[in-house]
Structure 1
């Protein structure tokens, strides 16, 4: 079974090719989603990990808590996001 891929910025599943961001030459990004990365750069280059977590928590609340309660979702993101490529060295 193939390992599931996730955006290395926001954690969004990259299950479909159309969910991938794009490199400068238009090819799909192997690491980032279309919301975080377009044309070879981050769509919010100054965003911090806390900004992305806050955005995801807003999405979680607006969409019926697919990531669990706000407290559970935040705890999960705070433990997982530092391991993602964009935040690893921050």
Structure 2
């Protein structure tokens, strides 16, 4: 699967289940499931920062991102 990024929040989308859905139930490859469900944008009235805080879990203290390796976490 190619690298996809939500056009609304910027979240990387890696799995098919993470894509948003259109009103007819088909997958929408422009948005993630946290932003677009059944053809409707969700979470109206919140800022991007609030959306990120709500949808992306915080890292544990012992997790760091590996530099030079894309999207890997060392525990």
- What TM bracket, shorter-length normalisation? 0.5 to 0.7
TM-score under structure 2 length normalisation? 0.63
- 21-30 vs 38-47, which deviates more? 38-47
Q: Gapped runs of 5+ residues in structure 2?
A: 66-75
Please identify the structure whose Cα radius of gyration is greater: 2
TM-score under structure 1 length normalisation? 0.54
Q: What root-mean-square deviation, in Å, do the aligned CA atoms of Structure 1 and Structure 2 show?
A: 2.8
Which structure is higher in RCO with an 8 Å CA cutoff and minimum separation 6? 1
**Structure 2 residue matching 1:32: 3-state secondary structure:** strand
Q: Gapped runs of 5+ residues in structure 1?
A: 69-90
Which structure has greater helix proportion? 1
Alignment of 1:24-63 (within 5 A): 24-47=23-46, 51-56=47-52, 59=56, 62-63=58-59
How many residues of Structure 1 are paired with residues of Structure 2 in the alignment? Answer: 63
Moved over 3 A (4+): 57-60
